[in-house]
Amino acid sequence: MAALQATPLKTLAFSRRRAGGAALRPRRMAAFRCSAAARSYNITLLPGDGIGPEVVAVAKDVLSLAGALEGKLIRVELRFQEKLMGGSALDATGVPLPDETLAAARDSDAVLLGAIGGYKWDNNEKHLKPETGLLQLRAGLRVFANLRPAAVLPQLVDASTLKKEVAEGVDIMVVRELTGGIYFGKPRGFGTNDSGEETGFNTEVYSASEIDRITRVAFEVARKRRGKLCSVDKANVLEASMLWRRRVTALASEFPDIELSHMYVDNAAMQLVRNPKQFDTIVTNNIFGDILSDEASMITGSIGMLPSASVGESGPGLFEPIHGSAPDIAGQDKANPLATILSAAMLLRYGLEEENAAKRIEAAVTETLNQGFRTGDIYSPGTTLVGCKRMGEEVLKTVESQKAVAAIN
Ligand SMILES: NC(=O)c1ccc[n+]([C@@H]2O[C@H](COP(=O)([O-])OP(=O)(O)OC[C@H]3O[C@@H](n4cnc5c(N)ncnc54)[C@H](O)[C@@H]3O)[C@@H](O)[C@H]2O)c1
Ligand SMILES: CC(C)[C@H](C(=O)O)[C@@H](O)C(=O)O
Ligand SMILES: [Mg+2]
């Protein structure tokens, strides 16, 4: 059985094609159809820093195999090119997002990113931070809608820090606005106040159209799930949130079948650990989405399990685990690669519309967990502790096996 298919990866059931509207339309039907027997795509890999290269190497192998096994008659051929990004790009070229990397990403059918950042670059000036490169990449690809599914898998319910009865069955989709808000707002910088004291400042700013487009995506996502949308804001204090709430409320009339609610972000943070099952789809701004998705990840057992898909109105999507470069475990073969492997599945589904290959990966992850393999972050007594590479090998084996194929049929 394919437990992952009960997760948002399945229940989301939201593809750009099915969405139909202007939002999330693939760039050039994503595929370069070279023959009846093979659909061929160019994928840009951005391994990045820390555990990024470890998890991307594993996910790349899984992606290739899942594509190659597409069927007797049809094969999905994935061509990979690897580019520098983040701290590794800074060291090699002096900038966190080289022009060549952005151009390659823009020109491909989809982009798979590991993670960026690390102690070495923590004190760099803003424009020389790996994180700045990531924001430039998201803005450069115009991927304004970031889908972050957080579902508790039955196999991992013991890995959750919440009580079993609270965690069991949780299935949330956080729709995070990704290219606006305080991350990008101006003015920002450092200054001096009237007392001559140093200040640092950022601006939370949203335009009505930015709010409308992410809200429409979220309503569509909710429609393909359980029909409930909770908009999270801080409209009791922040003007940007007051506008956010007004626009979301106004758009609700276009989606009468969706049950819309609003919640302040501080309450949402509390409710997520009190009773996470009350949530279906959450839509929120850039910074609240960043924080709430990390919080939601822990309900599922580990941040090492959570994939994400970032998409825009056109152009390639960006697919990345929600975790960072985990410098504390980098280079030790301890990272959980499943978030990146599941991001690869999202890449196939939302980036390339290769649903079968996506399902094959998800089924293989489920099967590998059923077989009891666990990295340290999701380990519980009675299961088999493995490292990043071995976990990848086990997933590969199940991708190949009849079991995984059967599970998707
Ligand atoms: N999208 C990204 O590339 C991204 C996201 C978040 C943080 N970062 C950057 O990563 C660096 C480290 O940030 P942080 O420590 O706050 O967050 P982090 O997500 O890297 O790590 C937080 C904790 O989770 C653990 N963890 C994360 N991913 C894991 C995995 N796959 N398997 C097992 N354990 C995992 C880490 O070991 C650590 O204990 C910073 O430079 C930060 O800016 C990058
Ligand atoms: C590294 C950082 C810029 C990034 C963000 O805040 O978006 C990260 O935390 C994430 O969740 O992808
Ligand atoms: Mg984050």
Any bridge partners for residue 189, and if so which? 201
DSSP letters of 336-386? Answer: --HHHHHHHHHIIIIIS--HHHHHHHHHHHHHHHHTTEE-GGG--TTSEE-
Which residues have any ligand 2 atom within 6 Å of their CB?
117, 131, 134-135, 290, 322, 324
Residue whose CA is at the smallest distance from ligand 2 atom 2: 131
Average pLDDT over residues 129-142: 98
Cα(127)–Cα(90) distance, rounded to whole angstroms?
11
Kindly give the number of the ligand 1 atom that is closest to the alpha carbon of 326: 20
Q: What is the largest CA-CA distance in the chain?
A: 73
**Model ipTM?**
0.98
Name residues contacting ligand 1 (CB within 6 A).
Answer: 51, 115-118, 131, 134, 303-304, 320, 323-329, 335-336, 339, 377
Q: How far is the CA of 214 from the centre of ligand 2 (A)?
A: 18
Query: In this structure, what are the phi and psi dihedrals at residue 117, rounded to the nearest 5 degrees?
Result: 110, 165
Nearest CA to ligand 2 atom 5: 290
Q: Is the dihedral of CA 190, 192, 198, 204 positive or negative?
A: negative
Distance of CA 193 to the CA centre of its chain: 39
| CATH architecture label of 3-408 | 3-Layer(aba) Sandwich (3.40)
Q: Is the pLDDT of residue 29 over 80?
A: no
Measure Cα distances from 329 to 80, 89, 114, 132 in Å.
27, 21, 14, 23
Q: What is the model's pTM?
A: 0.91
Please report the atom of ligand 2 found closest to the CA of residue 116.
1
Ligand 3 midpoint to CA 287 (Å): 9
Per-residue pLDDT of 152-211, as tens digits, reads 999 999 999 999 999 999 999 999 999 999 999 999 999 999 999 999 999 999 999 999
CA of 294 to the centre of ligand 3 (A): 6
First to last CA, the chain: 10
pLDDT in tens, 299-349: 999 999 999 999 999 999 999 999 999 999 999 999 999 999 999 999 999
- What is the dihedral sign for C-alpha 370, 372, 377, 380? positive
Taking CA atoms only, the protein residue closest to ligand 2 atom 12 is 322
CA of 322 to the centre of ligand 1 (A): 8
Q: Which atom of ligand 2 is nearest to the CA of 294?
A: 11
Which residues pair with residue 200 across a beta bridge? 190
Residues 195, 43 contacting (CB under 8 angstroms): no
Question: Tokens representing 262?
Answer: 């609003």
CB within 8 Å of 61: residues ≥ 6 apart: 392, 396
Could you tell me the pLDDT band of residue 73, with boundaries at 50, 70 and 90?
low
For ligand 1, atom 35, name the residue with the nearest CA.
304
Strands 228-233 and 259-264: parallel
pLDDT above 70: residue 37 = no
Whose atoms come closest to the Cα of 303: which ligand? 1
Query: Distance between CA atoms of 333 and 109, rounded to whole angstroms?
Result: 30
pLDDT at residue number 402: 54
Query: Which residue has its alpha carbon closest to ligand 2 atom 10?
Result: 322
Q: Look at residue 5 and tell me whether its pLDDT is greater than 60.
A: no
CA-nearest of 136, 116, 158 to 301 is 158
Boundaries of every domain in the chain: 3-408
User: From CA 114, how far away is CA 136, in angstroms rounded?
Assistant: 16
Mean pLDDT, residues 236-252 taken together: 98
Average pLDDT over residues 72-98: 91
Q: Which residues are the active-site residues?
A: 183, 234, 266, 290, 294
Q: Rounded to the nearest whole angstrom, what is the distance from the C-alpha of residue 174 to the centroid of ligand 1?
A: 19
DSSP string spanning 122-166? TTS-GGGSHHHHHHHHHHHHT--EEEEEEE--GGGGGGSSS-HHH
SS3 241: helix
Helix (H, G, I), strand (E, B) or coil at 115: strand
Contact 257, 220 (CB under 8 A): no
To test the ligand 2 pocket, which listed residue (116, 284, 290) has its Cβ within 8 A of the most ligand atoms? 290
